[in-house]
Amino acid sequence: MKKIILPLLLISASAIGQSKLRPEIDKRAVAIESKVITWRRDFHQHPELGNQEVRTAKIVADHLRALGMEVTEQVAVTGVVGVLKGGKPGPMVALRADMDALPVTERVDLPFKSTVTTTFAGQQTGVMHACGHDSHTAILMGVAEVLAGMKNQLEGSIKFIFQPAEEGVSDVDMAGAELMVKEGVMKDVDAVFGLHIWAQIEAGKIGYRPGPTMAAVDILGINVLGTQAHGASPWSGVDPVVTSAQIVTGLQTILSRSVNVTQNPAVVSVGAIHGGIRHNIIPEKVEMIGTIRTFGDDQQALVHRRINEIATNIAESAGAKAEVTITKLYPSTVNDEALTAKMIPTLDAAAGKENVVLMDPMTGSEDFSFFQREKPGVFIFLGGMKPGADPLKTPSHHTPDFYLDESGFKLGVRVMSYFVVDYMGMKR
């Protein structure tokens, strides 16, 4: 009997021990708020595209080193990893922030507006933190300072992961998180936490979802090969235009007839069709490209299989041939169900129960998924919209008018710090 009771007592005693650190975190999070905002404004004014985050990475690395951490630079090109060793033994908790900006020209009139320009894919463009990664970097620098100040009391260690190129560099190059995982960043990690600021959630609130939260993104390509003919005598050829039209319509049945819509949504969109050159020539070939969004590996496999079956069999029925290529970009961002359940009290404590909202699945994607495929992870959304504003009228991420209300940043510092101490308490 004693043998059973004793470990239970130890667990709860230790859990309380680490959660006792919350008031001190609160104090430190308030104290560091203005610094976090200053860092964020500086990053906002000096945005850098994926794998070019040299200035940002240097500021991060200098900061972590000044806090006494072991720092590794140039991880996955421009990434920075800092390890903070707690005073007592325990798990390794990873916290992640992404640092890259986007080829978007800022239209918001701010004193720290970006005026940076570059050439991207052969075009002149502005560079802007139009996804809010500037806030992620600043918030995590704040968390690093808060927890470094309390390190003797921590039962475990923290790995601060500042990753480059979350938005991807090109369709063929690896995203920042994938490359960091390949370089071994997750090997000694027990759990990983991350957040995304969200322009459609009020500052002061947190959104979360257990299980598949954000979609996997894949690029779809279908080439339909027919036989060229005079437009006046279609019977003498095989028309890839009509066949393509049937394929586009056929693809709609994947979501209406093959996917269990009560579980998770999915999206198959054809974004472009190219074929033909003249009104009276039936072309030989039609090319289609599109995007696929799915939630979880099983659904992804199902949707891919149905696309192949529909395209190939419709083409065959017309005497044509369909070549399907699917390029996997990011897997689905899946929050570990058990860990998420354990962390709900943490979210409630950080934001107040009434400010924690269960979110719908999002059809956007995030390369945080690569970290979660290695170790249990939780990814949450932090409110960045002016309280009381209408989310439908608020400019969305990746647009020139994207704007963040900075009053939610201190909650970001608090919740990430709480994740660490609560997880450490739970683990032992």
Sequence-distant (6+) residues with CB within 8 A of 82 are: 61, 64, 65, 67, 69, 70, 71, 72, 144, 159, 160, 162
Rank residues 131 and 189 by Cβ distance to Zn ion and give the closer one: 131
Give the Cα-Cα-Cα angle 374, 378, 382 (nearest 5 degrees).
140
User: With DSSP H G I counted as helix, E B as strand and the rest as coil, what are the percentages for the chain, rounded to 5?
Assistant: 40, 30, 30
* 398 labelled ligand-binding: yes
Closest separation between CB of residue 425 and Zn ion, Å?
Answer: 30
Rank residues 381 and 418 by Cβ distance to Zn ion and give the closer one: 381
Rank residues 131 and 143 by Cβ distance to Zn ion and give the closer one: 131
The region of 29-37, 77-85, 129-137, 174-182 touching Zn ion under the rule CB under 5 A is: 129-137
Closest separation between CB of residue 419 and Zn ion, Å?
Answer: 19
The number of CA neighbours under 13 Å toward the Cβ of 225 is: 5
Return d(Cα 285, Cα 307) in angstroms, integer.
19
Three-state SS at 75: strand
Closest separation between CB of residue 324 and Zn ion, Å?
Answer: 28
The number of CA neighbours under 13 Å toward the Cβ of 159 is: 23
* Options 36, 76, 99, 131; binder of Zn ion; rule CB under 5 A: 131
The region of 25-33, 128-136, 248-256, 413-421 touching Zn ion under the rule CB under 5 A is: 128-136
Return d(Cα 236, Cα 241) in angstroms, integer.
15
* 202 labelled ligand-binding: no
Amino acid identity, position 275: G
Closest separation between CB of residue 334 and Zn ion, Å?
Answer: 17
Closest separation between CB of residue 167 and Zn ion, Å?
Answer: 5
Q: What are residue 145's phi and psi, to 5 degrees?
A: -70, -40
* Letter string b/e over residues 73-96, b meaning 16 or more CB atoms within 10 A of that residue's CB: bebbbbbbbbbbebebebbbbbbb
Residues contacting Zn ion: total by CB under 5 A? 1
How far is C-alpha 76 from the geometric centre of its chain's CA atoms?
17
Closest separation between CB of residue 291 and Zn ion, Å?
Answer: 15
With tokens 């500052």, the residue in question is 203
Radius of gyration of the chain (CA): 25
DSSP 274-320: EE-SSTTEE-SEEEEEEEEEESSHHHHHHHHHHHHHHHHHHHHHTT-
* 167 labelled ligand-binding: yes
Rank residues 44 and 304 by Cβ distance to Zn ion and give the closer one: 44
Nearest CA to 195 among 180, 173, 213, 181? 213
- The residue nearest Zn ion at its CB is 131
Active site residues: 330, 406
Rank residues 131 and 174 by Cβ distance to Zn ion and give the closer one: 131
Rank residues 345 and 400 by Cβ distance to Zn ion and give the closer one: 400
Contacts with Zn ion by CB under 5 A lie at 131
Binding-site residue set: 131, 133, 167, 196, 398
Binding-site residue set for Mn(2+): 131, 133, 167, 196, 398
